[in-house]
Homo-oligomer: A and B are copies of this chain.
Amino acid sequence: MSESAHVPAEAQALAQRVAAAMYERDRASRSLGMRIAWVAPGEADLAMTVREDMVNGHAICHGGLVFTLADSAFAYACNSHNLATVASGCTIEFLAPSHLGDVLTATARERAQVGRSGVYDVEVRNQHGATIALFRGKSTRIKGHVV
């Protein structure tokens, strides 16, 4: 995992502890079957399989659930420094449909952090590597810590 090569071990361990604590409480993401595939300071990858209860009559996944996967990855990434952070707003561009049985992965990366405000970019890809959606999240740090 070359991406974490330069991350101090303490920061990495903290990111993992924060993610574990969030996941424990995060009934919504767990109900949707999301798994944490990767976490590091300012980064998180989450995976979700498109289930029967996520699609319409054409077996296409509801765009809102693609957004929800991206939004969860964003939340894990922006809280990874253990400074409590919430989403203030998000944008999403839908590029391709996803279908029943697809395995979607959302890759969230910190793009900027200025004062209490951050910008995170999230890309959602399917199991073939095709980009399904591009998401951008704006975060605001509030008082408190995650763990």
Q: Which A residues form the contact surface with B (CB < 8 A)?
A: 22, 24-29, 31, 52-58, 61-65, 67-72, 86-96, 111-112, 114, 117, 119, 121, 131, 134, 136, 138
Contact = CB atoms under 8 A, between A and B. Distances in A.
A25 B57 contact: yes
A22 B87 CA distance: 31
B93 A138 contact: yes
A119 to B, nearest CB: 5
Nearest to A113: B95
A72 to B, nearest CB: 7
B91 A112 contact: no
Given A28-B64, A54-B28, A112 B95 contact: yes
